[in-house]
Amino acid sequence: MKKELVPKLRFTEFKDSGEWEDIKLEKLCEKITQGGTPDTTKINYWNGNIQWLTPAEMGKTENYFIYSTNRTITELGLKNCSSILLPINSIIISTRAPIGHLAINKSNMAINQGCKGLIINKENHYIFLYYILFKNKNELNDLGAGNTFKELSSSILKNFKIIIPLLQEQKKIADCLSSIDELIDLQTQKVESLKQHKRSLMQKLFPKEGKILPEWRFPEFRDSGEWEEVKIREVLEYERPEKHIVKNTEYKKYGIPVLTANKSFILGYTDELANIYEKIPVIIFDDFTTDKKYVNFPFKIKSSAIKI
């Protein structure tokens, strides 16, 4: 099947710039490097001034720029492993355990054997190539091979073909996507700040263990006396969940939501119209994980582990 060489959406100034080029990844790089690990028994190979990145650490980063790493190696450690010192703005890709984590180094950096470093040539934009590799990470993962764990070989990576425009259009696309990522980062920081604020408020607005009054109280309730300790059955009703369990778990795209109490929450939708739970609002509770969710819309549930 022939690849489309023009994107569906294109900036106005590039609409008459012709087709993109279908090209092997190695043609876009000055070099594709292998990583390595210095001998962990040699103390003088470790805790130096050289950053050293692993796939495990890449999977925990929220930003694609990496400035520093958890572990560092010495000059002697670098000389005694198969990694080179990657220049700033190289693309680092994990090629095993798992395949497809991506990062851009913002300091000179070495990598372990689960990674490969792409030193991008001057005719191409490193951030654009980061995004296009990110877009193709599932395809890269499918190219991995191995019995114990999948690994993406150097030859397959070098011969992996991607479609790219000329440098100026690459820069335009990279700037556009980077600006959106910056907005996402700002919103993420705001959300995290609000979460911390909420945690702090909950510690002060509810009585601590062994106490009958909270540390903080709204002015209109300061003279309202002590809080009352009650059993949960005095404030919540309980309904057995059996009749609300969905029978067919081949979920639909539309219909009545099928719920669980964990992070997945809405598992899918069903067209079963019998025994929909409609006495809302309600709390659903998973008696295995103790996860809970507040629900204010009609629903069905997946299993009897979900209490209502």
If pLDDT is split at 50, 70 and 90, which confidence band does 3 have? low
Report pLDDT for 2.
55
For residue 146, pLDDT beyond 90: no
Are 248 and 156 in the same domain? no
pLDDT of res. 32: 97
pLDDT, position 63: 85
Q: For residue range 43-88, what is the model confidence (pLDDT) as tens digits?
A: 999 999 999 999 999 988 878 999 999 999 999 999 999 999 999 9
- Reduced 3-state DSSP string for the chain: CCCCCCCCCCCHHHCCCCCCEEEEHHHHEEEEEECCCCCCCCHHHEEEEEEEECHHHHCCCCCCEECCCCEEECHHHHHCCCCCCECCCCEEEEEECCEEEEEEECCCEEECCCEEEEEECCCCCHHHHHHHHHHCHHHHHHCCECCCCCECCHHHHHHCEEEECCHHHHHHHHHHHHHHHHHHHHHHHHHHHHHHHHHHHHHHHCCCCCCCCCCCCCHHHCCCCCCCCCCHHHCCCCCCCHHHECCCCCCECCCEEEECCCCCCEEEEECCCCCCECCCCEEEEECCCCCEEEECCCEEECCCCEEC
88 in a structural domain: yes
pLDDT of residue 168: 97
158 with 245, same domain: the answer is no
Last residue of a domain, one of 123, 146, 166: 166
What distance lies between CA 248 and its chain's CA centroid?
A: 31
Q: Are 296 and 276 spatial neighbours (Cβ–Cβ below 8 Å)? A: no
Position 117 scores a pLDDT of 98
Same domain? For 125 and 248 the reply is: no
- pLDDT number for residue 178: 96
Query: Does a structural domain hold residue 5?
Result: no
Q: Indicate the pairing of strand 65-66 with strand 99-105.
A: parallel
Kindly state whether residue 174 falls inside one of the protein's structural domains. Answer: no
Q: Is residue 173 part of a domain?
A: no
User: 162 and 251: one domain?
Assistant: no
Q: Is there a single domain that holds both residue 28 and residue 147? A: yes
Q: Is residue 56 part of a domain?
A: yes
Residues 28, 161, single domain; the answer is yes
The pLDDT of residue 53 is 97
Q: Is the pLDDT of residue 111 over 60?
A: yes
Q: Of 166, 197, 213, which residue sits at a domain end?
A: 166
pTM above 0.85, yes or no: no
In a domain, 152, yes or no: yes
Residues 130 and 24 occupy one common structural domain: yes
**33/162 same-domain check:** yes
Q: How many CB atoms lie within 10 A of CB 112?
A: 21
Looking at the predicted structure, is the pLDDT value of residue 1 above 60?
no
Q: Is the confidence at residue 175, as pLDDT, over 70? A: yes
Residue 229: pLDDT over 60: yes
Tokens at residue 5, please? 């060489």
Residue 295 pLDDT > 80 = yes
Question: Does residue 28 sit in the same domain as residue 159?
Answer: yes
- How many independent structural domains does the chain possess? 2
Domain span holding position 48: 20-166
Q: What is the mean pLDDT of the chain?
A: 94
In a domain, 31, yes or no: yes
Domain boundary among the residues 166, 183, 211 is at 166
Q: Return d(Cα 94, Cα 74) in angstroms, integer.
A: 22
Assign residue 56 the CATH number of its domain: 3.90.220.20
Q: Give the residue-averaged pLDDT of 76-104.
A: 96
* Residue 159 and residue 41 share a domain: yes
pLDDT beyond 70 at 153: yes
Asked if residue 264 is part of any domain, the answer here is: yes
Q: How far apart are CA 299 and CA 88, in angstroms?
A: 52
**pLDDT confidence of 4, banded at 50, 70, 90?**
confident
User: Quick one: pLDDT at residue 97?
Assistant: 83
Residues 154 and 78 in one domain: yes
Residues 25 and 154 in one domain: yes
